[in-house]
Chain A
Amino acid sequence: MKKLKYNILAFALLLSSVVIAQQTPASKQTNAISIEGATAHLGNGQVIENSLIMFNDGKITFVGSANMKIARQGNVMQAQGKHIYPGFIAPNSTLGLVEVDAVRASDDADEVGAMNPHIRSLIAYNTESKIVESMRPNGVLMGQITPRGGRISGASSVVQFDAWNWEDAAIKADDGIHMNWPSPFSRGRWWLGEPSMLKENKDYKKQVEELSTYFAESKAYQASNKSPKHLPFEALQGLINGSKKLYVHVDAERGITDAITFTKQNNIKYLVIVGGYEANKVSNLLKQNNVPVLLQRVHSKPKNDDDDYDLPFKLANELVRSGVLVGLENAGDMERMNARNLPFLAGTCAAYGLDKEQALSLITLNTAKILGVAAKVGSLEVGKDATLFISEGDALDMRTNKLEKAYIQGRDISLESHQTELYKRYSNKYKN
């Protein structure tokens, strides 16, 4: 039955789209849906075997056991042997800001200037990106779209991946401001004949002071009559009143420590460490100060020859064990197309110490909490958005991450993409 449906769909697509266009956003949920019998991975650490999940009008209305004698609402879907997950969230992402890495015209991720708190990623987010739609077949249904570059890059926004435009996409606009913490190392200036070595960054202190001065100026501005208006300082205000979080991108032990001091000194309410290669060395400090970490790409090389080969694989486990709230991010080389591998980053964390459900939290509820959207998304809990999917098997393992259905805010979204369409087109070519 299912197969037939797919074929019809494929046929329809072949007819309708010679020029391949992006998937049409799904229409609003009109009927309640009940999914029965699947193993539900709630995202909060819990698993319900033989579950019953119901949602209506875009919101989850029931999460429990299928053994419960309760009326199934709307369309009932039998999903025995299947797995159901809350949609995965890709934080610190440039999805929709860049389409093709090597094509400059398609790159909107990095604005000129060092101090850009007023820059907003949301308005550049391209809902029609072919890369964004390729996230969905792997269960990555939301992301935090984040600008790059400078000392203060600008403001990110949390979006869902099935929308007509950026306004529809927004789950939380301008959720936080991103800052690139000064590096403890500087590079040899090869153009001056210096060896291309990393050396101590002699300007580290100066660069930190520049930030302190900037924030002090901003504080003074907030107390003034604000005339004339100072756009960047206006944007910083949210950090003080807590409407925005401060995301500090930093790897080094010392930098993390200094960033924590910095946020305290400047009365910044919420600090999130992004990257955190050395966060395990200051895990107690992070815990004491309730500072969560969006941990760097798990599938990366250790930074030093001497590091354990599996250091990036096991960092999440070490942090979680120390009581730090951890989510996974994926910035780096080819980060956009690679973001669809987010579930497998979590899978690797499970291979290297974490319980599978804990690992799942790293890309669902933990991330939602860190981004401040846990009231709406991140887990299968009543009242939250029905942003979820059904997978044939364990979604953290590539062999079994096979989506059959996915919903964003209850909308039954397409799992097709530019890529699946090419797949079908050429598979058919050789069949004939």
Chain B
Amino acid sequence: MIKKTLLFVFLACTINLFAQENIPKNDGVKTISSNYTAVTNAKIHVSPTQVIENGTLVIKDGKIVSVGANISIPKNAVVTDLSGKSIYPSFIDIYSTFGVEKPKRPEGNSRRPQYDAAREGYYWNDHIRADQNAIDKFKYDGKEAKKLMEAGFGVVNTHIEDGIIRGTGTLIALNSEGSDANRILKEHSGQYLGTSKSKTSKQAYPTSIMGAFALLRQVNMDAKWYASGAAKEKDRTLEAFNRNKNQVQIIEAGSKLNALRLDNIGDQFNTQYVFVGGGDEYEYIKDIKATNGTFILPLNFPDAYDMENPFLGNSVDLADLREWNQKPHNPKILADNNVNFALSTYKLKDAKEFIPNLLKAIDAGLSKEKALAALTTIPAQVLGQTSTLGTLKAGAYANFLVTSGDVFEKKTTIYQNWVTGIKNELKPMDNRDIRGDYTFNIKNTDYELTIKGEIEKLKAELKANDKKLGSKISFNDDWLNLTFSTVDTTKQEFIRLVANINNTSTFNGKAIFPNGNEASFTAKKSEVKTADDKKEADDKDDKKENKLFPVTYPNMAYGFESLPQQETLLFKNVTVWTNEADGILKNTDVLIKNGKISKIGKNLSASKAQIINGEGKHLTAGIIDEHSHIATSSVNESGHNSTAEVTQEDVINPEDIGIYRNLAGGVTSIQILHGSANPIGGRSAIIKLKWGETANNLIYKDAPKFIKFALGENVKQSNWGSTNTVRFPQTRMGVEQVYTDYFQRAKEYDAKKKSGQPYRKDVEMEVIAEILNKERFISCHSYVQSEINMLMKVAEKFDFNINTFTHILEGYKLADKMKAHGAGGSTFSDWWAYKYEVNDAIPFNAAIMHNAGITVAINSDDAEMSRRLNQEAAKSVKYGNVSEEDAWKFVTLNPAKLLHIDNRVGSIKVGKDADVVLWSEHPMSIYAKAEKTIIEGVTYFDINHDKQLREAIKKEKNELTSLMLQAKNKGLKTKPIEKKEKAHFHCDSEF
């Protein structure tokens, strides 16, 4: 009773302390307290690196006045003795949506696409919402605050989790008492960004993550232009964006790949983003480190899969099994590599899951010091609040936890979470520890009682006459209640005990029998303790499971344990398809050194070279696929009819198993093309299939610049359903005008730029101007001769050439015109009949174009067929009698020419990159297999190594499966089997 009154008085005081000085008061007299609050004798963790044993903390006006071992306590202080307790700075979550309702989708279910912004006076794209502020939507949520405080959080930086640019966050103290007047610590705290669209708008653009990245770039440029005062119209979004520029920029990357991609964008605009991670950063730790960014890490460690059903269990990928083992190690690995990070409740379904997951990370080796820093000083640093948040130094907010001990131990209880000097009681602190073994006698029956479990959640075991009795225990405010079944278990009867415990070695109480009779008893504690020993043994068991499965490059099936190295290789007595004037050389040696073709000849020797016997085998240049959609996270940006601003280089996915499978088919280089959703598509990425490397390392150095254009049914949305009939163009007639319009505008843009006048930098126009300036080449998706002819005429009008027509299924109908124009043709071997415009596609197309003198390539547009491009080339021998040597060039030298990389690859010629394939026999035979696929002297695929990998994958999967079965057996949570569906991209793929 006394305690409660004290608390009340105390609360009243603190609230008054914050109250505004002069406001009307009609419910009593005005009381202003100038008292101090002091807590003493606690182990105070002032900061992650500073601990004071037996320390005192003095608080006034919600802030810390002093902290130390021997400090004087002001006389007018209310003092609480916290002997045996620990104090930590409260945690800070800087990626929170606390108190901010998730925006909802607008009403109405029109399926008609919306191309324009719905807002007026703001940016042209609704998904850029720098103008919104979390403070305007904030409403304190007491229930959620309590959960967060129980998880140790005192302060959160909340935001509107909606849109690509989301506006400012707000720094909130979670205290339940008081009002927003003392909860809102900072109205505008940080600017938030993401990669997904706003739910509030149906504006189509961007439909892809690739578009989101491009948009992010354009906003930066537009903001600069706006800041220069040159813009003619008011744009409240850009004004806000410019206002928010000096705030920390926190971006929801959600995965390591996106963090690396976004870091590229940040670098372009001198912005160092703080990345909200995906928990998978450990997989590319070196590159993550190189971003220099601070990460906000989620702790949503996956549960084990329920592997009991082997049929379903078999279908889980190794990568997903590994994740369960590896993800808890993520924070430790980041810490070991000196990557700054904060921890967050992001992605957890409930704040309650936070501490258990945090303990998993600590079990996996994360040091407690780093853990505390990640929850206090680092988030404070990110927000620029180091003087007021994150530590318990004088002047900081009095945000701290009172715990029973080490906050990073499972058995520890957080009793109180003080926020801005206001005490939030979470669990009663004064409960005695009554755990132990007791004996007592009631009515001539001897009972043995064991009390165990957590202090706040006790469990009882009761035995009498060697019989276990069902029982239920509770202990509050020193009062024990124990209900148990009678010895005679045939009856459903219970005895209730009640006792006031002042002394844990012996206590008295009374028993109430089923018939209402009462008897008194005395319980005595026995000395022997067994429970703790057992617990330690359990802990040890847990530790054993913390073995980290090796992280491979990429971290999935068929990844390398360590990245393969360049070698000096000497192929002996092999049949060499040079693709040069030498033609096909039998019994020839090829030396590969420093990643280049070093020598070709007979009887070559080289010291230290690894000799590869090529007898009966064929060595060719690596296959080059002019039209691929593997190794990308996104194919189409279909939100506009021109999307020259997007680039595949932004969305390379180096973890696509398609890379490995293509290597196994002898492919070494590909052009990742944008899809065909619009007349002017996005820019290409030309990459080498260096399995295991990161995206940036796959891209050709000084890659020739390419862009995808498209004609026909796809760009006029013929097969998109009846709702997609509003975007211009809907006919081939319109397509011509789209091109003419954009080229004309780009020409005018470029002229203005070159004139030195101020201009609004527009990536789309820049890119199209590059085409006009012959710095960028077009690869145009095309089928029907009329429109192919049209595009050549448009290009000629603007004085440039179409570099490549890709697909070009009716190329045979105007091969003469293509030849005259100078366009190349990259076609399918034999596809047709899948849509109306390919009715006249014939498998002889490649042969006819070739005979007309056009540079012809055979491409795939398909992750399966691409691994058999050697066979697709062979079809040109069948259909049209192309010579084998020329047919082979269709998938090697000719695509290299079309891609302007034939100075580096495409043939076996001294000085060229050592991108070669060793085939088991004639490379165009259906019976041929790639045995080694080598890029720049590095063996990325080896048929024998592949066999070993298969065994290793099987073994590892079995090991992980057993561990998951054990986890389930132990009662740990498991999740049902689910399987990510792997997208199989074509030109028409929607994302």
Contacts and interface: CB of A to CB of B under 8 A. Distances in A.
A184, A301, A340 pick with most chain B CB within 10 angstroms? A301
Interface string A250-262: 0011100000000
Contacts of B8: none
Interface in B799-852: 812-813, 815-816, 830-836, 839-840, 842-844, 848, 851-852
Contacts, number: 152
Given A100-B839, A252-B311, A309-B660, A398 B877 contact: yes
Contact of A399 (B314, B852, B874, B946): B874
A299 B924 contact: no
A141 to B, nearest CB: 17
Interface stretch (B271-279, B394-402, B896-904, B976-984): B976-984
Contacts of B848: 423, 426-427, 430
Interface magnitude class on chain B: 35 or more
B929 A102 contact: no
Contacts of A430: 815-816, 848, 851-852
Contacts of B311: 184, 252-254
A198 B981 contact: yes
A176 B953 CA distance: 41
Given A422-B812, A423-B880, A336 B833 contact: yes
A306 B957 contact: yes
A199 B877 CA distance: 45
A301 B719 CA distance: 26
B657 interface: yes
A397 B851 CA distance: 23
Interface in B955-986: 957, 976-982, 984
A351 B929 contact: yes
Contact of A198 (B840, B879, B978): B978
B570 interface: no
A299 B657 CA distance: 16
B557 interface: yes
Query: Interface majority SS on B: helix, strand, loop or mixed?
Result: loop
A341 interface: yes
A197 B978 contact: yes
Given A254-B311, A399-B874, A351 B832 contact: no
A398 B874 contact: yes
Interface in A270-310: 299-302, 304-306, 308-310
Contact of B980 (A197, A300, A351, A400): A197
Interface in A119-153: 130-131
A99 B833 contact: yes
A394 to B, nearest CB: 8
Given A402-B878, A426-B848, A430-B851, A199 B865 contact: no
Contacts of A184: 311-312
Interface in B344-396: none
B319, B980, B984 pick with most chain A CB within 10 angstroms? B980
B864 interface: yes
Interface magnitude class on chain A: 35 or more
A398 B846 CA distance: 15
Nearest to A20: B840
A157 interface: no
Interface in A380-415: 396-402
A399 B927 CA distance: 11
A168 interface: no
Contacts of A422: 812, 840, 842, 844
B926 A348 contact: yes
Contacts of B292: none
Interface in B870-925: 871, 874-875, 877-880, 884, 924-925
Nearest to B834: A101
A254 B315 CA distance: 12
A344 B815 CA distance: 29
B314, B719, B926, B929 pick with most chain A CB within 10 angstroms? B926
A399 B318 CA distance: 39
Contact of A199 (B863, B925, B926, B976): B976
A49 B556 CA distance: 49
A302 B816 CA distance: 41
Given A252-B311, A398-B874, A309 B926 contact: no
A32 to B, nearest CB: 31
A187 interface: yes
Nearest to B853: A430
Contacts of A185: 312, 315, 979
A200 B664 CA distance: 32
B625 interface: no
A91 interface: no
Nearest to A185: B979
A196 interface: yes
Given A197-B981, A305-B318, A419 B842 contact: yes
A298 B957 CA distance: 26
Contacts of B976: 199-200
A234 to B, nearest CB: 35
A341 B556 CA distance: 33
A87 interface: no
A337 interface: yes
B960 to A, nearest CB: 12
B980 A102 contact: no
B926 A305 contact: no
Contact of A347 (B312, B877, B926): B926
A350 interface: yes
Contacts of B813: 426
Contacts of B661: 301-302, 309
Contact of A102 (B309, B835, B984): B835
A19 interface: no
B617 interface: no
Nearest to B842: A419
A421 to B, nearest CB: 9
A399 B883 CA distance: 10
B868 interface: yes
Contact of A100 (B317, B836, B957): B836
28 contacts: A100-B833, A102-B719, A185-B312, A197-B980, A198-B981, A199-B976, A252-B311, A254-B311, A299-B868, A304-B315, A305-B317, A305-B318, A305-B982, A306-B957, A309-B660, A309-B664, A309-B867, A337-B833, A337-B834, A341-B830, A348-B926, A398-B874, A398-B926, A400-B878, A420-B842, A422-B812, A427-B844, A430-B852
Q: Would you list the 6 A-B pairs with minimal beta carbon distance, nearest first?
A: A347-B926, A102-B835, A423-B844, A198-B979, A306-B557, A419-B842
Interface of B: 309, 311-312, 314-315, 317-319, 556-557, 657-658, 660-661, 664, 713, 718-719, 812-813, 815-816, 830-836, 839-840, 842-844, 848, 851-852, 863-865, 867-868, 871, 874-875, 877-880, 884, 924-929, 946, 950, 953, 957, 976-982, 984
Interface of A: 99-103, 130-131, 184-185, 187, 195-200, 252-254, 299-302, 304-306, 308-310, 334, 336-337, 340-341, 344, 347-348, 350-351, 396-402, 419-420, 422-423, 426-427, 430
